[in-house]
Amino acid sequence: MSLVTAYFDAAYNQPKGGRVNDPRIHTVATYIARKEDWAKLRKEWRRELVEFKVPFFHMKEFEHARNVMKYGTGRISSKSPYQGWPLEKFDEFERRLHRIINRKRTDGEPRITSITSHIVLTDYYKTLPDDLKDHPACRSPLILNVSNLMEGIARWANEHIYYDPIHYIFAGGDDDIGDLDKWFNRCFKRDITIRHFRLGKGFSRIGYDIQWMRSEPALQMVDCPAYELSKMTIEWAKNGFQPMQLSELRKSLSSLCKIDHFGVTLEESELLRYYADIRSADKRLGFST
């Protein structure tokens, strides 16, 4: 069985201006693929960047430049690779990047599996109980999303009968208070959690790696669902989590999600269930909270 790598990227909104009343959402997305698929994906991604003369892709920078062209407000930096682009070029570039993400293997299966976890921040701060405020699995929105995603990856591994170690790689700059160290150190204390999450220290002494988006195409790829699905969840929350038509959301969302992008949004009721599950797991594993 070939090595599997999961890349993670976070997104969160700090509403301002006309969006100051938008609900605050914290999102972490992961793209999971096998080593040989990541090799092909990187090659194809870099080829598009070279053709469009973009050194590296970052959704926030790209979207800012596109919005300047679309709405005629703000400015594009003279150093930006998007300087002078017509609107049609932005759309074509995005479609071609999304095409890479959505391309399937010769067996018809997607090369990438996508899972995304969102937290409604007001609900998180409202519901987090005192006894779990410093718990390694939920002491911050980032690590709660990460622990939730790793449970999803474990389910994916079970379904695909994959038991070898998984290489977990996180975008630099997302973990600014050492949450990942605390979480992985705790997971390595029990054989059952090592097996469950397919952990291994053959990658690094701490069992995971931090890499920078600028030099890693896989992190540039997963920045797309982190951004797009966070925007979607904000609109969904504004609509009271009632069903919405795809036509009510950003057009780029339907372009990106030609393959399944699985996800969950943790609001008050789901958070309370998650805390109960953490306490139950701690008791079963012999951890004190």
Helices 217-238 and 35-52, packing angle to 10 deg: 90
pLDDT tens-place string over residues 247-258 = 888 899 999 999
The pLDDT of residue 206 is: 82
All residues at 6 or more sequence positions from 194 whose CB lies less than 8 Å from its CB, including other chains: 187, 188
Per-residue 3-state assignment (H helix, E strand, C coil) for 16-82: CHHHCCCCCEEEEEEEEEEHHHHHHHHHHHHHHHHHHCCCCCCHHHHHHHHHHHHHCCCCCCCCCCC
What tokens does 8 get?
A: 């993670």
The pLDDT of residue 289 is: 56
State the average pLDDT for the chain. Answer: 94
The residues that bridge with 28 in the sheet, in sequence order, are: 10, 117
Please provide the DSSP assignment of 189-252 as one string. Answer: T-HHHHHHTT--SSS-TTS-EEE-GGG-HHHHHHHHHHHHHHHHHHHHHHTTT----GGGS-HH
The pLDDT of residue 202 is: 81
Q: How far apart are the C-alpha atoms of 8 and 223, rounded to whole Å?
A: 8
The pLDDT of residue 245 is: 85
pLDDT tens-place string over residues 193-246 = 999 999 998 877 788 999 999 999 999 999 999 999 999 999 999 999 998 887
Kindly list the distances between the CA atom of residue 251 and the CA atoms of 46, 94, 248, in Å, as whole numbers in the listed order: 24, 11, 9
pLDDT in tens, the chain (289 residues): 469 999 999 999 988 888 899 999 999 999 999 999 999 999 999 999 999 999 999 999 999 999 999 999 899 999 999 999 999 999 999 999 999 999 999 999 999 999 999 999 999 999 999 999 999 999 999 999 999 999 999 999 999 999 999 999 999 999 988 999 999 999 999 999 999 999 998 877 788 999 999 999 999 999 999 999 999 999 999 999 998 887 888 899 999 999 999 999 999 999 999 999 999 999 999 997 5
Q: How far apart are the C-alpha atoms of 65 and 72, rounded to whole Å?
A: 10
Helix (H) or strand (E) run with residue 169 in it? strand 166-171
Q: How far apart are the C-alpha atoms of 83 and 75, rounded to whole Å?
A: 9
pTM: 0.96
Q: How far apart are the C-alpha atoms of 251 and 53, rounded to whole Å?
A: 24
The pLDDT of residue 2 is: 64
Sheet hosting strand 4-12, strand order edge to edge: 209-211, 166-171, 4-12, 25-34, 113-120, 261-266
Q: How far apart are the C-alpha atoms of 176 and 10, rounded to whole Å?
A: 12
